[in-house]
Amino acid sequence: MAYKYMNDVWIKEQQERSDIVRSRLIVWRKQGSIVRLDRPTRLGRARELGYKAKQGYVVVRVRTGRGPREKPRPRMGRKPRSLGVRKYTPQKSRRWIAEERVARKFPNLRVLNSYWVGSDHRWVFYEVILVDPNHPVIYNDPEINWICDATHKGRVHRGLTSAGKRSRGLRRKGRGAEKIRPSLAAHKNRGK
Protein backbone atom coordinates (compact mmCIF):
# COMPACT_ATOMS: atom_id res chain seq x y z
CA MET A 1 0.00 0.00 0.00
CA ALA A 2 2.89 2.35 0.76
CA TYR A 3 4.17 2.04 -2.82
CA LYS A 4 0.81 3.25 -4.15
CA TYR A 5 1.12 6.45 -2.11
CA MET A 6 4.74 6.84 -3.21
CA ASN A 7 3.58 6.67 -6.84
CA ASP A 8 0.83 9.24 -6.20
CA VAL A 9 3.33 11.66 -4.60
CA TRP A 10 5.74 11.13 -7.51
CA ILE A 11 3.08 11.94 -10.12
CA LYS A 12 1.92 15.01 -8.17
CA GLU A 13 5.50 16.34 -7.99
CA GLN A 14 5.94 15.83 -11.74
CA GLN A 15 2.69 17.67 -12.50
CA GLU A 16 3.61 20.59 -10.25
CA ARG A 17 7.17 20.62 -11.70
CA SER A 18 8.55 21.13 -8.21
CA ASP A 19 12.06 22.39 -7.36
CA ILE A 20 13.22 18.82 -6.66
CA VAL A 21 12.14 17.69 -10.14
CA ARG A 22 13.80 20.64 -11.90
CA SER A 23 17.07 20.33 -9.98
CA ARG A 24 17.13 16.58 -10.65
CA LEU A 25 16.77 17.14 -14.41
CA ILE A 26 19.61 19.69 -14.39
CA VAL A 27 21.92 17.07 -12.87
CA TRP A 28 20.74 14.31 -15.22
CA ARG A 29 21.35 16.46 -18.32
CA LYS A 30 25.02 16.87 -17.36
CA GLN A 31 25.55 13.13 -16.89
CA GLY A 32 26.08 10.50 -19.57
CA SER A 33 23.32 9.00 -21.68
CA ILE A 34 23.46 5.65 -19.81
CA VAL A 35 24.14 5.79 -16.04
CA ARG A 36 24.13 2.86 -13.62
CA LEU A 37 22.35 3.65 -10.34
CA ASP A 38 22.61 2.36 -6.77
CA ARG A 39 18.85 2.32 -6.31
CA PRO A 40 15.74 3.20 -8.34
CA THR A 41 14.50 6.79 -8.39
CA ARG A 42 10.85 5.61 -8.41
CA LEU A 43 10.90 2.78 -5.90
CA GLY A 44 7.15 2.15 -6.02
CA ARG A 45 7.08 1.76 -9.81
CA ALA A 46 10.24 -0.35 -9.84
CA ARG A 47 8.78 -2.74 -7.25
CA GLU A 48 5.57 -3.04 -9.29
CA LEU A 49 7.63 -4.11 -12.30
CA GLY A 50 9.62 -6.80 -10.47
CA TYR A 51 12.61 -5.00 -8.91
CA LYS A 52 13.99 -6.37 -5.63
CA ALA A 53 16.75 -4.84 -3.52
CA LYS A 54 19.07 -7.81 -3.66
CA GLN A 55 22.07 -9.05 -5.58
CA GLY A 56 21.65 -9.72 -9.27
CA TYR A 57 19.34 -6.73 -9.92
CA VAL A 58 20.76 -3.65 -11.66
CA VAL A 59 19.01 -0.32 -12.35
CA VAL A 60 20.21 1.93 -15.18
CA ARG A 61 18.97 5.38 -16.22
CA VAL A 62 18.99 6.10 -19.95
CA ARG A 63 18.01 9.16 -21.94
CA THR A 64 16.62 9.33 -25.45
CA GLY A 65 16.06 12.36 -27.67
CA ARG A 66 12.71 13.98 -28.40
CA GLY A 67 11.34 15.68 -31.47
CA PRO A 68 10.75 14.49 -35.03
CA ARG A 69 12.89 11.56 -36.08
CA GLU A 70 13.93 12.56 -39.58
CA LYS A 71 16.35 11.01 -42.05
CA PRO A 72 19.32 13.06 -43.32
CA ARG A 73 18.37 15.14 -46.35
CA PRO A 74 19.88 13.79 -49.61
CA ARG A 75 22.40 16.18 -51.19
CA MET A 76 21.25 15.93 -54.80
CA GLY A 77 19.33 14.05 -57.45
CA ARG A 78 15.73 13.77 -56.17
CA LYS A 79 12.32 15.15 -56.87
CA PRO A 80 11.13 16.99 -53.77
CA ARG A 81 8.36 14.39 -53.52
CA SER A 82 10.91 11.56 -53.47
CA LEU A 83 13.30 12.99 -50.87
CA GLY A 84 11.95 10.71 -48.12
CA VAL A 85 13.01 12.90 -45.19
CA ARG A 86 9.92 13.59 -43.09
CA LYS A 87 7.24 11.32 -41.66
CA TYR A 88 9.53 8.30 -41.46
CA THR A 89 9.31 7.14 -37.87
CA PRO A 90 10.41 3.79 -36.47
CA GLN A 91 7.57 1.53 -35.38
CA LYS A 92 9.02 1.54 -31.88
CA SER A 93 8.41 3.61 -28.80
CA ARG A 94 11.24 5.63 -27.26
CA ARG A 95 11.05 3.37 -24.20
CA TRP A 96 11.73 0.28 -26.32
CA ILE A 97 14.63 2.05 -28.05
CA ALA A 98 16.03 3.01 -24.61
CA GLU A 99 15.80 -0.62 -23.44
CA GLU A 100 17.67 -1.80 -26.55
CA ARG A 101 20.47 0.70 -25.98
CA VAL A 102 20.89 -0.46 -22.40
CA ALA A 103 20.88 -4.12 -23.49
CA ARG A 104 23.73 -3.40 -25.92
CA LYS A 105 25.69 -1.62 -23.18
CA PHE A 106 25.26 -4.52 -20.71
CA PRO A 107 25.30 -7.68 -22.87
CA ASN A 108 25.63 -10.07 -19.91
CA LEU A 109 22.39 -8.81 -18.29
CA ARG A 110 18.76 -9.26 -19.35
CA VAL A 111 16.15 -6.52 -19.47
CA LEU A 112 13.24 -7.17 -17.12
CA ASN A 113 11.24 -3.96 -17.57
CA SER A 114 11.48 -0.16 -17.66
CA TYR A 115 9.57 2.96 -16.64
CA TRP A 116 9.53 6.71 -17.28
CA VAL A 117 11.27 8.96 -14.73
CA GLY A 118 11.25 12.41 -16.31
CA SER A 119 11.48 14.57 -19.39
CA ASP A 120 12.36 18.08 -20.45
CA HIS A 121 12.33 19.98 -23.74
CA ARG A 122 15.23 17.94 -25.14
CA TRP A 123 15.40 14.52 -23.47
CA VAL A 124 13.17 11.75 -22.12
CA PHE A 125 14.61 9.75 -19.21
CA TYR A 126 13.79 6.12 -18.43
CA GLU A 127 15.05 3.67 -15.84
CA VAL A 128 15.61 0.09 -16.97
CA ILE A 129 15.62 -2.90 -14.59
CA LEU A 130 18.22 -5.50 -15.53
CA VAL A 131 18.78 -8.99 -14.12
CA ASP A 132 22.00 -11.04 -14.09
CA PRO A 133 20.97 -14.58 -15.17
CA ASN A 134 24.30 -16.08 -14.01
CA HIS A 135 24.04 -14.83 -10.43
CA PRO A 136 23.32 -17.60 -7.88
CA VAL A 137 20.78 -15.42 -6.05
CA ILE A 138 18.80 -15.08 -9.31
CA TYR A 139 18.89 -18.66 -10.59
CA ASN A 140 18.00 -20.02 -7.13
CA ASP A 141 14.98 -17.71 -6.78
CA PRO A 142 11.84 -19.45 -8.15
CA GLU A 143 10.09 -16.11 -8.78
CA ILE A 144 12.68 -14.73 -11.22
CA ASN A 145 14.71 -17.71 -12.45
CA TRP A 146 12.51 -17.99 -15.57
CA ILE A 147 14.69 -15.23 -17.05
CA CYS A 148 17.77 -17.51 -16.79
CA ASP A 149 16.35 -19.78 -19.51
CA ALA A 150 18.18 -19.50 -22.84
CA THR A 151 14.96 -18.54 -24.65
CA HIS A 152 15.06 -15.14 -22.90
CA LYS A 153 18.49 -14.25 -24.26
CA GLY A 154 18.16 -11.02 -26.27
CA ARG A 155 14.46 -10.75 -25.34
CA VAL A 156 14.44 -6.96 -25.70
CA HIS A 157 15.62 -7.13 -29.34
CA ARG A 158 12.79 -9.54 -30.16
CA GLY A 159 10.10 -7.31 -28.64
CA LEU A 160 9.37 -9.57 -25.65
CA THR A 161 9.51 -6.88 -22.96
CA SER A 162 6.43 -4.92 -21.95
CA ALA A 163 7.42 -1.92 -24.10
CA GLY A 164 8.11 -4.20 -27.06
CA LYS A 165 4.76 -5.98 -26.80
CA ARG A 166 2.97 -2.66 -26.58
CA SER A 167 4.68 -1.32 -29.70
CA ARG A 168 3.88 -4.55 -31.55
CA GLY A 169 0.19 -4.04 -30.72
CA LEU A 170 -0.14 -7.16 -28.56
CA ARG A 171 -2.11 -5.36 -25.83
CA ARG A 172 -5.10 -5.38 -28.19
CA LYS A 173 -7.26 -8.48 -28.54
CA GLY A 174 -10.24 -9.53 -30.62
CA ARG A 175 -11.96 -7.42 -33.23
CA GLY A 176 -9.67 -4.99 -35.01
CA ALA A 177 -6.51 -6.85 -33.99
CA GLU A 178 -6.69 -9.78 -36.42
CA LYS A 179 -3.66 -8.70 -38.45
CA ILE A 180 -1.29 -8.24 -35.50
CA ARG A 181 -0.57 -11.80 -34.35
CA PRO A 182 1.92 -13.43 -34.35
CA SER A 183 3.55 -10.45 -36.09
CA LEU A 184 2.86 -8.01 -38.92
CA ALA A 185 5.41 -9.74 -41.17
CA ALA A 186 3.96 -13.20 -40.45
CA HIS A 187 0.46 -11.99 -41.29
CA LYS A 188 1.68 -10.38 -44.50
CA ASN A 189 3.25 -13.69 -45.63
CA ARG A 190 0.31 -15.82 -44.53
CA GLY A 191 -1.32 -16.11 -47.98
CA LYS A 192 1.91 -16.98 -49.79
Average pLDDT taken over every residue of the chain: 91
Compute the distance between CA of residue 102 and CA of residue 90 in angstroms, rounded to an integer.
18
Classify burial at 115, counting beta carbons within 10 Å of its beta carbon; exposed 0-12, middle 13-18, buried 19 or more.
Answer: buried
pLDDT digit string (tens) for 110-130? 999 999 999 988 999 999 999
Kindly report the CATH number that applies to the domain delimited by 33-170+178-188: 3.40.1120.10
Name the residue ranges covered by the structural domains of the chain.
33-170+178-188
What is the reported pLDDT for 97? 94
63 vs 18 pLDDT, higher one: 63
3-class DSSP state for residue 62?
A: strand
31 vs 86 pLDDT, higher one: 31
Instruction: Check pLDDT > 90 for residue 184.
Output: no
The helix (run of H) or strand (run of E) holding residue 99 is: helix 94-105
Compute the distance between CA of residue 138 and CA of residue 151 in angstroms, rounded to an integer.
16
pTM: 0.88
